[in-house]
């Protein structure tokens, strides 16, 4: 039975990966890391708000998986434990003043219970990433960010924050040069992150 479930999960993952890859994407990534860390109080507040939004999405993931888990199963216990962890972390961040928030705290997020981890949890300082050609085709917040060189195995970036929380300023299918800040990992078998857009500039035609 577990073998059948594993095969079904694998098929679902492959389908999801195909859905995540935009038309015209190639097999090489053009993402570049830059040495910069958020410091302004306004930026910290934006990242904190985006982190709370990401935790809410993570909770929805696990709540959905919980509904499909067999009663009294290990999977059910794992999902309940993950939801409890997310609730505690959410309560902690809601009480936290923006001045005390650091991206490193969010980046240490752990639960990937019930599905294969995309990578080992890291306590390293997550650096902003420059995407030379990025665009969105899904509603924000919560939509995936497409970029030139995106592959079927990731990384995937789900947008949960934007400058001044103004998502309407980022127009669908308009290509931008973007600087994004990874906040925390999304529970997904391949590298996938919730990100806050730090800056964006339309590309010249």
The verdict on residue 120 lying in a domain is: yes
Asked if residue 191 belongs to a domain, the reply is yes
Range of the domain at 130: 26-202
Which tens digit of pLDDT belongs to each residue from 30-61?
444 443 444 467 899 999 999 999 999 999 99
* Cα radius of gyration (the chain): 17
- The alpha carbon of 43 is separated from its chain's Cα centroid by a whole number of angstroms, namely 18
Q: What is the pLDDT of residue 113?
A: 62
Residue 8 within any structural domain of the chain: no
What pLDDT, in 10s, does the model give residues 97-127?
999 999 988 888 877 664 444 444 444 568 9
Residue 153 lies inside a defined structural domain of this protein: yes
The residues, ordered by sequence, that sit 6+ positions from 99 with a Cβ below 8 Å of its Cβ are 41, 44
Q: Rounded mean pLDDT of 123-147?
A: 90
Give the closest residue to 115 by CA, choosing from 1, 4, 5: 5
Q: Between 197 and 22, whose confidence is greater?
A: 197
| 182 closest CA partner among 166, 170, 198, 194 | 194
Q: Residue 68: pLDDT above 80?
A: yes
32 lies in some domain? yes
Cβ neighbourhood burial of 146 (10 Å; 0-12, 13-18, 19+) = buried
Distance, in Å, from the CA atom of 83 to the CA atom of 130, rounded to the nearest integer, reads 32
pLDDT value of position 128: 93
pLDDT the model gives residue 189 = 84
Q: Confirm whether 46 is domain-assigned.
A: yes
Any domain includes 74: yes
> Does residue 175 belong to any structural domain of this protein?
yes
Counting the structural domains of the chain, the total is 1
What separation in angstroms does the CA of 190 have from each of 10, 37, 98, 117, 184? 12, 25, 30, 8, 14
């Amino acid at each position: 039975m577990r073998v059948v479930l594993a095969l079904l999960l694998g098929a679902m993952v492959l389908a999801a990966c195909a859905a995540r890859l935009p038309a015209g994407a190639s097999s090489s990534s053009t993402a570049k890391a830059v040495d910069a860390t958020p410091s302004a109080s306004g930026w910290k507040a934006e990242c904190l708000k985006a982190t709370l939004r990401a935790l809410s999405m993570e909770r929805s993931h696990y709540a959905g998986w919980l509904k499909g888990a067999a009663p009294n199963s290990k999977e059910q216990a794992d999902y309940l434990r993950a939801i409890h962890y997310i609730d505690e972390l959410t309560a902690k961040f809601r009480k936290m003043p923006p001045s005390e928030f650091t991206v490193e705290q969010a980046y240490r997020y752990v639960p990937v219970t019930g599905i294969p981890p995309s990578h080992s949890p890291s306590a390293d300082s997550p650096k902003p990433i420059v995407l030379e050609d990025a665009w969105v085709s899904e509603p924000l917040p919560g939509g995936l960010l497409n970029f030139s060189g995106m592959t079927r195995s990731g990384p995937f970036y789900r947008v949960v924050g934007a400058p001044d929380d103004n998502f309407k300023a980022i127009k669908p299918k308009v290509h931008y040069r973007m600087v994004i800040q990874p906040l925390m990992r999304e529970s997904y078998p391949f590298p996938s992150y919730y990100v806050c857009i730090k800056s964006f500039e339309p590309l010249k035609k």
